[in-house]
Amino acid sequence: MPNPLVGMPQGAEWLVILAIVVLVFGAAKLPDLARSSGQALRIFKTETKGLRDGEKDDDADGTVPPEQREIEARNRAAADNVVRETHDDTTA
């Protein structure tokens, strides 16, 4: 039976991978990249848990994480800031 860990990177390979990531993204962007990845994974986890449990997405039961509520609030604020043209039919 073949060993399933044969293809996994070991110590030195991880250092090379980390060096390539730092070169591609830059050291200043890595904390932001890690933070946004963590938030995305947290949102994904709560959504899949809700689907698995058969629950509906509802703010009242507290299943929506704070990050998702913040995103939805920003989207609502952006939609409210859209200038809408109104027509006045009283003038000829």
Q: Give residue-wise pLDDT tens across range 52-85.
A: 776 554 445 556 778 888 888 887 877 776 655 5
Burial zone of 37 (CB within 10 Å; 0-12 exposed, 13-18 middle, 19+ buried): exposed
Confidence at residue 73, expressed as pLDDT on a 0 to 100 scale: 82
Confidence at residue 89, expressed as pLDDT on a 0 to 100 scale: 67
Q: How many helices (H) and strands (E) does the chain have?
A: 3, 0
Is a pLDDT exceeding 70 seen at residue 88? Answer: no
What is the rounded distance in angstroms from the CA atom of residue 35 to the CA atom of residue 63?
21
Q: What digits encode the pLDDT tens for the residues 18-50?
A: 899 889 888 888 888 888 989 999 999 988 887
Half-sphere exposure of 41 (CA within 13 A, CB side): 6
Neighbours of 32 (CB within 10 A): 10
Confidence at residue 7, expressed as pLDDT on a 0 to 100 scale: 77
Please give the residue that has the higher pLDDT: either 91 or 39.
39
Domain ranges of the chain: 56-81
